[in-house]
Amino acid sequence: MSPLLSTALLFLASAAVASEAAAGHPAGIPWGDIFKQFVNFAILVGALVYFLRKPLSSFLKERSEMMRKSIDDAARAREEAAAKLSAIEARVAGLAGEVSAMNRKMDAEAEEEADRIREAAQAEIERVRVQAQFAADQEVKKAREELRREAAALATSAAAEMVRKAMTPEDQERLVRENIEKIREVVR
């Protein structure tokens, strides 16, 4: 038993014995019975403390360690959650920059594609214009040649008609003789 408990029991016992002797038990408080009950209670408490001290101490120690471990685990989980939250917040903050960078990149690519399409369209327009010009030039040449042939044919037929009308049989005979004379001179 602990020294404090023993001292308290002795003090109470001596107080009870002194009061019984002074009061003469019959009309007063039954201090002897109270003392017996107190001694029984003290023995019970002493036995409980003696037998339950180690299990209670180990239970409380285990409970304390378990609570400390739970607190440590909770603190670790909180730190991990805070780290994850920070990473997510940083990523979310970075997403805005990534989205704007992607938008700028897509805008630049779209502009480049539009420029490339405009250049291809201009090249195609120029190619078609050159082909159309070449085809028109060829048609104009062809039409001019056709007009020259028709004009030559018309001029020839008009000249023949004029010669026929203007030339008499005597003129024809004279022309034939002149030509024969020229041929003889060339042959000689």
Separation between Cα atoms, residue 117 and residue 168, nearest integer Å: 76
Q: Give the pTM.
A: 0.36
> pLDDT confidence of 12, banded at 50, 70, 90?
low
pLDDT value for 72 = 93
Structural domain for 43, as ranges: 3-167+173-187
Contacts of 102 (CB under 8 A, 6+ apart): none
Q: What is the number of alpha carbons within 13 Å of residue 139 lying toward its C-beta? A: 6
Burial of 33 (C-beta count, 10 Å sphere; 0-12/13-18/19+): exposed
Separation between Cα atoms, residue 160 and residue 178, nearest integer Å: 20
Separation between Cα atoms, residue 171 and residue 179, nearest integer Å: 12
Separation between Cα atoms, residue 64 and residue 57, nearest integer Å: 10
- Number of domains making up the chain: 1
∠ Cα 120 125 127 (to 5°): 95
∠ Cα 22 27 33 (to 5°): 75
Tens digits of residue pLDDT in 23-81: 555 557 888 899 999 999 999 998 888 888 888 888 889 999 999 999 999 999 999 99
